[in-house]
Structure formats: structure tokens, C-alpha cells
Amino acid sequence: MNKLQIADYIVFAVYFILVSAYGIYIYKKKKAAATSSKDFFLAEGSLTWWAIGASLIASNISAEHFIGMSGSGYEIGLAISTYEWMAAATLIIVAVFIIPMYLKNKIFTMPQFLSQRYNGLVSTIMAVIWLLVYVFVNLTSIIYLGALAISSIAPISFEWCIVGLSIFSVVVTLGGMKVIGYTDVFQVLVLVIGGLVTTYLALSLLSEQFGFGKDIFKGLAILKQQAPEHFHMILDKSNPHYMELPGLSVLIGGMLINNLAYWGCNQYIVQRALGADLKTARKGILFAAFLKLLVPVIAVLPGIAMYVMHHNGMFQNEMLDFSDPHHPVLKPDHAYPTLMNLLPAGLKGVAFAALTAAIVASLAGKANSISTIFSLDIYKKYINQDASEKKMVLTGRWAVIISMLVAALVAPQLKTLDQAYQFIQEYAGFFSPGVLAIFLLGMFWKRTTAAAGLAGALLTVPVSTVLKFLPQWTNGAFPNYPFLDRMTITFFAVVIMMVAMSLRYPKSDKDSHNIEMDTSLFKVTPGFIVGSLIICGILAALYTVYW
């Protein structure tokens, strides 16, 4: 089953050659500016709106979506889509209120914002936290899931998959943000086509299994008929997965905090728009919001389809992990690779290329952001303040290589996970609430002090940790809150603490660090308003139908 045919290798080779050739073309075309650090890290002024939108999605969608989200679709159902659909709404907020603040103040990195608004200590602490999370949570989980998926559909060992993905990603990243941004357009096209092919296979296979031929619309109807419990967006407390997606918190609580922190205060996401003018950045972000609506179709529906087929007697062994032959366990994350193995020759190559495109694009985006933060906010500030532009670019490239090597060595340790997507969300959520509090208060409340910002940076992880483990430490005397609710509690705790500190010990004039705000920049074009209303209308319909 896990073998590629000659047609698949040909399709994949075509994809690999096209991506590589296009990347080389972009690199050589812009080679004159390659020694500029701003050009290398941000592709300043050269990305179009469609390149920005595509790059946002390519950096965001990876193996954790194809494999992890599909596994959660198998286990939980459509409710996991709230990560994607709420992200679409959040992107509109980011485009209207947050991106203008960065562009107005010429912000290139998130630690730079913190340094400019608070002080260097707050900036450095958060830079170190970001680097650790990007390397040990983001890069490692993507490499692990990518290698897991590819090794299950190709005759390549898990370890060699890690090596191959890491090298391919490093090569793409070394060309800088410009190469990443434009190759991401091609990568998104491939991953959407490949994802739709796999979804089509899942639905047509399901329809055929129930005697309706290859009718994908019958397949959709069968999904809702056979697994009605998998088609609720808002879970109540009786649902076994309430702790993962707790009721209305997925709309107005922790999910909103999670998304605002991810899309508005996250280097490897925001970075795509920081080199553009406001109009171009907004159009790119709105384009990304439309693309986010599509992600559950290619990532969640196949997982639900596998759930129905597995519970009707199909793929019994394929869904098991035989690491311990005597005690095989059900692995939801095997759902997507199992489906890919069923694709006919040629189409399997398309799906294989799509998966690789998603993994490589996401790894490249994260590695570039790691190199940006390290080079601009650590190396330039503390190690070599007189570094030339050429030296900065060289440092950035070495940061890419070293971070990818570390992540590749750590990735195999994640083999014990059942649902890697939930692991990523929970542990990234340990510091997201504090990050959002620091950024929002720093942007929109001038009285916030540097001391309050420092306290917010230092306390967010300890507060999150205490909330997670207090129920165990107290033998259940303290409530065991879902992690999204813990994010809400942590966010408001940090905000209240920062406000109280700022009021109790107001900053003096010499301690004044304010970010310039121009409210006229919050005005948007009629086209942006129409696009936003369409997205919000679609979301309202989806949540109404599948409440």
C-alpha cells in the first residue's frame, strides 16, 4: 500500500523541479538586493497582495492540518474547524486595527515593537521565548508530522523523511523572504489541488461503500447521516471532547485570544505583510481569510469520512499503531495517510506533492522568522552591533540551518502523541494570552508602563502552568478548566495585573515609550468592506447550520 508508482514519482519530480526553478529565478532576478537584511528578511516592498495572502496560508497550513487536523476531524468532528473559520474573522480584525499600527511605526519584528513600546528587556525576554517555542514546538511538530505522513505513503524511512524535509526547507529558506513569498503562491496552488483530490476520493469512496456510486454529494449526506455527532460546531459539557473545544469559548473566549495572538502578534505570520504598503497588506490578508474558509474542506472532511468508514468495518488495521505488536492502539492521525494510499497512480503523486508543499512552505516560513528574530533582535543588539548587511544575511542563514538541525533531532521524541494538533495548540497557548495582553495594551493604552510589560512577559507562562496543574496538585479541589478557558483566565489575569501596575506606578516623561497611532488608518476601502461582509456572512451561515 505505501508505495508510489512511476507516475507518482514523475508528478512529484515535476513539482520539485518547478518549485526549485521558480525559486532560483526569483532569487537571481532580485540578487542585487540579496545583501540587504530588510530584503532578505522581509522582501520589503516586493510582494504583491496575492503573494502575501498565499504566503500567509502556506506558512500556516502544514502537516498539522493535513495530518493533525484530519486526525482531530476523525476523533472530534467538524468542531475542530473553528480554528480555521474563526481565524478568517480574526484576520479581518488584524487587517483593520493591528497591521496599520505596525506599518505606521515601521515595525519589522515583534521584539522590535516591544523594544520600541516598552524597553529592551521586555523585547529580549519575549524574543527568547518566541525562539524556543518556534524551534521546540512549531518546527519539531511539523517535521514530525510531515515525516510520519510521508513515510506512510512512500518507501522512505521516518528518519530519512526528517532529513529530506529539513534539507529541502533549508534550501528554500536560504533564498530569503522574497523567494519564500513567491514560491508559496505555487505551493498553495499545489496543496489546495492535492487536498481537494484527497477529499474527493474520501467522499466518493464513502458513497461507493454505501451503494451510491462515486457521488460526492451522496458522500456528504452519508457523513451527516452516519456521524451526526461529528457535525456540531459548539460542544456542550456532556461531549467527551468538551475539554478540547469548550462551548462558546470557541467563539468569544480562548479561541479569539488564541487567533488574535497567532495572526496579529506572531512573527512568522505578520512578517509577510510588514514589507508592504497598507492597501496591499490588507488585500493580502483578506485573500488569506477567504482561503482559510476552504481549509476544513481539505483537512477535516477526510478525517470524518475515515471515521465513518472505519466504524463500518473498513481500514481496521490501517488506523492502528503497531509500535507495540502486543497492544496496538488506534491512531486518529493515521486517517489522512491511509486515504492518500488509496489514490490511483498519478493522483497519489499530486497529493504527495501537496503534502510536501504544505510542510516545506510552513517550515521555510517559520525558519525565516527564527532567523529574523535571532539576527535583528539578538545578534545585532547583543553580539555584533556593527554587523554589516552582508554579515546579517549570513547570520540569518546560519540561524536557519542550526534551528532546523535542532528541530530535526528533537522531532522523533513526539512519537507518543495521539493528536498532535491539540498538542501544538495547547502548548503554544501557554504564552499566547500574555503576548496578546502586552501587545494590545501597548498599542491602544498609552499609560501602560514598561514594568507592567515586563511583568506580563514573565508571568504568562507561570500562570498558564499553575492553571493546568493545580487540579492535580490539589487532588481535584481546584477546577480542571479546558485549555481554551485557561487562556481566557490567563489573558484577563495578565491584563488586570498590567493595568493595576500601570495605574499604581505611572511612568514618568523620561520613561515614556509610545507607539504612534493614526486612527485615520483604521478606515478601509469599500472593496475591503464588501469582502469582509461576505466572509462574515458565510461564517454566520456555517455556525447557524452546524451549531
**Per-residue confidence (pLDDT) for residue 538, from 0 to 100:** 94
**Per-residue confidence (pLDDT) for residue 175, from 0 to 100:** 64
The DSSP result for 282-324, as a single string, is: HHHHHHHHHHHHHHHHHHTHHHHHHHHHHTTTSSTTTTEE-SS
Q: Is residue 469 part of a domain?
A: no
**Per-residue confidence (pLDDT) for residue 40, from 0 to 100:** 61
C-alpha closest to that of 275 among 443, 60, 108, 105: 108
Contact by Cβ (8 Å): 376, 106: no
Domain count of the chain?
Answer: 1
Q: Is residue 240 part of a domain?
A: yes
**Per-residue confidence (pLDDT) for residue 329, from 0 to 100:** 63
pLDDT averaged over consecutive 10-residue blocks of the chain (547 residues)?
A: 75 82 71 54 66 81 75 87 91 93 86 87 87 85 81 80 84 67 72 82 85 82 86 86 82 87 85 82 92 89 86 72 62 77 79 78 81 85 81 84 89 68 69 90 89 89 87 82 87 94 79 75 90 94 90
**Per-residue confidence (pLDDT) for residue 1, from 0 to 100:** 47
Domain that holds residue 361: 6-19+56-428+517-545
Check which CATH number belongs to the domain holding 113 and give it. 1.20.1730.10
Contact by Cβ (8 Å): 86, 251: yes
Q: Is residue 298 part of a domain?
A: yes
Judging by beta carbons within 10 Å of its beta carbon (0-12, 13-18, 19+), is residue 314 exposed, middle or buried? middle
The DSSP result for 186-228, as a single string, is: HHHHHHHHHHHHHHHHHHHHHHHHTTS-S-HHHHHHHHHHH-G
**Per-residue confidence (pLDDT) for residue 416, from 0 to 100:** 65
Cell of 209: 461503500
Q: Is residue 361 part of a domain?
A: yes
**Per-residue confidence (pLDDT) for residue 32, from 0 to 100:** 45
**Per-residue confidence (pLDDT) for residue 529, from 0 to 100:** 93
Q: Is residue 508 part of a domain?
A: no
Structural Rg of the chain based on CA atoms: 23
C-alpha closest to that of 16 among 123, 132, 164, 145: 164
pTM above 0.75, yes or no: yes
